[in-house]
Amino acid sequence: MSEAMIVAAAQDMLRLTFLLVSPFLLIGVAASLLIGLLQASTRMNDLTLSFVPRFLAVLLLAYLLSSWAGQRVAAYIERSAATAATLVD
């Protein structure tokens, strides 16, 4: 296994990780921004008010994107297995 193959495998893994995590981070930031604006405009500063909607937004996104994420992970595993099979031969 050459250095180029190791670097390519690491890049592929990191690219997939970023692709899977970024929608959750974006929805968390967007929900936090909206809740922060709401709290600033109403002068309500409650920890529960900031946590629960953000949690529900991320949970809803996880439900909606689960099949997409599963397909991405399955494709990555198939590519990795095919690459590993060529290394054994």
Q: Each residue of 48-65: pLDDT tens digit? A: 778 888 999 999 999 999
Q: What is the pTM of this model?
A: 0.77
Task: Pull the structure tokens for residue 84.
Answer: 């590993």
Helix (H, G, I), strand (E, B) or coil at 81: helix
Q: Compute the distance between CA of residue 88 and CA of residue 45 in angstroms, rounded to an integer.
A: 59
Helix (H, G, I), strand (E, B) or coil at 43: coil
Tell me if 27 sits within 8 A of 61, measured CB to CB.
yes
Residue 20 belongs to domain spanning = 3-88
Q: Compute the distance between CA of residue 86 and CA of residue 89 in angstroms, rounded to an integer.
A: 5
How many domains does the chain fold into?
Answer: 1
Question: What single DSSP character describes residue 34?
Answer: H
Q: 19-40, pLDDT tens digit by residue?
A: 999 999 999 999 999 998 988 8
